[in-house]
Amino acid sequence: MNQLDQLKRFTTVVADTGNFRQLAAFAPQDATTNPSLILKAVQQPEYAPLLAETVAAHRAEPLAAIVDEVLVRFGQEILRVVPGRVSTEVDARLSFDCAATVARAHRLMALYEAAGIDRDRVLIKIAATWEGIQAARILEREGIHCNLTLLFAFCQAVACGEAGVKLISPFVGRIYDWHRKQQGAAWDEAANAGANDPGVRSVRQIYTYYRKFDIDTEVMGASFRNTGQILALAGCDLLTISPELLAQLQAADAPVQRVLDAASAQAADVHAVSFNEPAFRFALNEDAMASDKLAEGIRAFAADSLKLDALIEAAR
CATH at residue 86: 3.20.20.70
Domain coverage including residue 147: 3-315
- Give the active site residues: 125
Q: Is-contact 113 119, C-beta < 8 A?
A: yes
Q: Is-contact 191 142, C-beta < 8 A?
A: no
Distance CA 55, CA 308 (A): 12
Distance CA 52, CA 42 (A): 10
Tell me what pLDDT residue 161 has: 98
- CA distances from residue 103 to 124, 141, 287 in whole angstroms, order as listed: 12, 14, 30
Tell me what pLDDT residue 311 has: 92
Domain count, the chain: 1
pLDDT in tens, the chain (316 residues): 999 999 999 999 999 998 888 898 999 999 999 888 899 988 999 998 899 999 999 999 999 999 999 999 999 999 999 999 999 999 999 999 999 999 999 999 999 999 999 999 999 999 999 999 999 999 999 999 999 999 999 999 999 999 999 999 999 999 999 999 999 999 999 999 999 999 999 999 999 999 999 999 999 999 999 999 999 999 999 999 999 999 999 999 999 999 999 999 999 999 999 999 999 999 999 999 999 999 999 999 999 999 999 999 998 8
